Amino acid sequence: MNFKGRDVISIEDFSREEIDYILKNSESMESIALKGSKILEGKILATMFFEPSTRTRLSFEAAMLKLGGSTIGFADADITSVRKGENLSDTIRTIENYADIIALRHPLEGSAKLAAEFSRVPILNAGSGADEHPTQAFMDLYTIKKEKGKIDGLKIALVGDLRYGRTVHSLAYALSLYNIELYLISPESLRMRKEVFRSIKDRISIIQDENLEKVIPQIDVLYITRIQKERFPDPTEYYKMKGVYKIDLNTLKTGKNDLIILHPLPRIDEISSEVDYTPQAKYFQQVWNGIVVRMALLSLVLAT
């Protein structure tokens, strides 16, 4: 399988075979992540973050450094030529001269796709508007597989804001390539986007519900998201929804013993801090997994 020079824009561009290959490759990055390497020595990653995201940006940078490469970039649209009125395609055609690969975070949907059309170097989508965040989906899949030993056969619940949260869109699509049962738990007004729902509904069995307690006893993986204030057009709507789902020790009591809790982070109060020290809590381990997955993608796309 050859990923050299390939853009990573949407999880939908990848077949199940390709995803499995990337997850397998991520596994082999675990030991390299611990001790460092020179696999990508002399290569430069540009992190172009038009929207702040320390977590994702530093994850890409750490992944590149652990492979022996180096990084340049910006963390805020405010300090770029955009302030002088430059459009994205011109910025891309500038930065592509400086770097061997670009990780792009941009507030507009479709921005990563547009960037890839203009760029000679590969684009890794690090989050585009509310639509896609494919490296997060790879990280989530990898965490499930690492913790449960498999993905097929699991009952997996996505909980919280399924409308604006881009991580759940990419993840739902990816999960639909596996033989799983998917629970979509959200308030009525934050239901999974229709276009995502439509694209996955014929491939797997889906249960939609507002009630989290009811499904807890049945599921193997609980993936809960932050209600993202910054994505709500109306703040009143946000304050109504905030805190509607909350995981605490009582929640865990009603679940399976080997239930695992995932969260894309940052969390606000969706998961009580008392849960952090239970064996079910895997959300901080996910952060580490994000590095190995990104190391795999960087090394596959920049393969020499």
Q: Which positions touch its own copies (CB under 8 A)?
A: 35-37, 41-44, 46, 52-55, 58-59, 61-62, 65-66, 70-76, 78-81, 83-86, 89-91, 93-95, 97-99, 226, 228-230, 265-268, 273, 284, 287-288, 290-291
Please count the residues of the chain. Answer: 304
DSSP 128: E
Catalytic residue among 4, 16, 55, 229: 55
Is-catalytic flag, 56?
A: yes
Is-catalytic flag, 169?
A: no
- Whose Cβ is closer to its own copies: residue 17's or residue 269's? 269
Q: Locate 179 and state its tokens.
A: 């033989």
Catalytic residue among 43, 66, 133, 193: 133
Mark out the alpha helices in the chain (DSSP H runs). Answer: 16-35, 54-66, 88-95, 111-118, 134-148, 166-175, 194-200, 212-215, 235-241, 249-253, 283-301
Is-catalytic flag, 105?
A: yes
CB 29 to its own copies: min, Å: 13
Catalytic residue among 105, 146, 155, 226: 105
- Whose Cβ is closer to its own copies: residue 58's or residue 244's? 58
Catalytic residue among 47, 56, 71, 225: 56
CB 285 to its own copies: min, Å: 9
Is-catalytic flag, 203?
A: no
- Inter-axis angle of helices 54-66 and 16-35, nearest 10: 70
- Whose Cβ is closer to its own copies: residue 93's or residue 198's? 93
Q: Locate 233 and state its tokens.
A: 């057009």
* 257 HSE (CA, 13 A, CB side): 0
Catalytic residue among 38, 84, 120, 194: 84
* Amino acid code (one letter) for 230: E
- Whose Cβ is closer to its own copies: residue 136's or residue 228's? 228
10: which residues sit within 8 A by CB, 6+ positions away?
A: 113, 125, 132, 134, 170
Closest by CA position to 73, among listed 53, 99, 110, 55: 99
CB 80 to its own copies: min, Å: 4
HEC-encoded secondary structure of 259-295: CEEECCCCCCCCECHHHHHCCCECHHHHHHHHHHHHH
CB 132 to its own copies: min, Å: 19
Report the C-alpha gap between 129 and 289 in whole angstroms: 23
DSSP 247: B
CB 155 to its own copies: min, Å: 28
157: which residues sit within 8 A by CB, 6+ positions away?
A: 182, 183, 184, 185, 212, 215, 219, 221, 222, 223
- Whose Cβ is closer to its own copies: residue 10's or residue 286's? 286
- Whose Cβ is closer to its own copies: residue 198's or residue 229's? 229
CB 37 to its own copies: min, Å: 8
Number of other CB atoms surrounding residue 31 within 10 Å: 10
Which residues does the annotation mark as catalytic? 55-56, 84, 105, 133
